[in-house]
Amino acid sequence: SVPTRSLRSAGLFASLFLQGLADQSVCFRAAAIIFSTGPRLMFDFSQFSAGNLSGAREILESLPYIGEYTRPSTALEFVQHNLLASRNSS
């Protein structure tokens, strides 16, 4: 299984990008975390650009269940969950 901390980090990077708060290089960092710690998810960060947020969301929504969570069940929910958690803890 993928370490929960790594998934949280990757989810947070992706969520920051989707919120327009991070650039593509941050997304590549998140991809590196995912690929180095767990299953090789088909996560094409090359499609993550400022002008293609809908494409990024489609990629996230198409991912299967991630990691040790029973909920959220989709990657997009996972990302949103982590963004909320990071905001609530700050």
User: How many distinct structural domains can be found in the chain?
Assistant: 1
66-70: long-range contacts, CB 8 A cutoff, minimum separation 24:
66/2, 66/7, 66/41, 67/1, 67/2, 67/4, 67/7, 67/38, 68/1, 68/2, 68/4
**What's the average model confidence in pLDDT over 12-33?**
58
Q: How many residues are given for the chain?
A: 90
Q: Is the pLDDT of residue 22 over 50?
A: yes
pLDDT at 76: 54
Q: Is the pLDDT of residue 11 over 50?
A: yes
pLDDT at 39: 47
Region of 67 please: left (phi>0), alpha (psi -120 to 50) or beta: left
The total of other beta-carbon atoms located within 10 Å of residue 17's CB is: 23
**What's the average model confidence in pLDDT over 19-35?**
56
The total of other beta-carbon atoms located within 10 Å of residue 23's CB is: 13
Residue 13: domain span: 4-89
- Residues 29-78 have pLDDT tens digits of 555 555 555 444 444 444 444 445 555 555 555 544 444 333 334 455 55
Please check whether residue 14 is in contact with residue 5, taking contact to mean a CB–CB distance below 8 angstroms.
no
